[in-house]
Amino acid sequence: MTPEALRQQLEYYRDLGIKQIYRHMPIPNISNAIELPSLVPAGDTLDLIRADIGDCTRCRLCKTRNKIVFGDGNPNARLAFVGEGPGADEDEQGLPFVGRAGQLLTQMIEGTSAKEGIPLKRADVYICNVVKCRPPENRTPEPDEMEICGQFLFRQLSAIKPKAICALGSTAAKAILGGKDGVTKLRGKWHKWNDIPLMVTYHPSYLLRPYNQNAKRESWEDLKKVLHFVYD
Ligand code: URA
């Protein structure tokens, strides 16, 4: 079997929710650990990833979505933001972060960089979500939905190779880092995903709620750290 055929088969298993496979016949004196080819195809691009997603029916979210929200921004961005999943406005327009939370995100990116003397516009970064289809009633995506769609997020991040990633909220942080800790524990510190520095901060929707002055101040601090790390 060629590495490409094996990759496709593993991808198929993963779409089915099978997370672990075992080598069938142990060979004496040889470790059972086999080195698997990367699930990110060589020469991967955002266009190829979008084509692979197609008119996706891999999970139940396809039944209620209007448009697939793949991602938006500079394919060569030095900074990528990852949210949770599309809301109503995003589902309607097919673009990430275009509703109220999106307007706040734009303001945070452009306002903070202007104050810090960094000439950066929203179009210079890349913005996407863990799941590409809107969960009904804006519920949190289910683990299997994130598992299935996560392969495309990881391919997007691998294709862009940003200098840093900013995970917006607990769902994005858990999906990318794989742990159980939420945003209050993870925020403000550098983590790593595949050798790429990753900062976790509050989701803009959370910042839109009243009485979150402290979280707002903290997220501005987190963003300043990210902007200076990437653009200084
Ligand atoms: N919230 C998200 O997590 N993503 C969007 O695209 C919009 C709102």
Reported as a single tens digit per residue, the pLDDT across 177-201 is 999 999 999 999 999 999 999 999 9
Q: Is 49 exposed, middle or buried (0-12, 13-18, 19+ CB in 10 A)?
A: buried
Question: How long is the chain?
Answer: 232
User: Cβ(90) to ligand 1 under 6 A?
Assistant: yes
Q: What pTM was computed for the model?
A: 0.86
Taking the centre of ligand 1 as the mean of its atom positions, its distance from the CA of residue 8, in whole angstroms, is 30
Q: Report the C-alpha gap between 199 and 125 in whole angstroms.
A: 15
For residue 83, the CA-to-ligand 1 centroid distance in Å is 5
Does ligand 1 have an atom closer than 6 angstroms to the CB of 101? yes
> Can you tell me the mean pLDDT for 19-26?
64
pLDDT at 25 over 60: no
- Contact in structure between 162 and 79 (CB atoms under 8 Å): yes
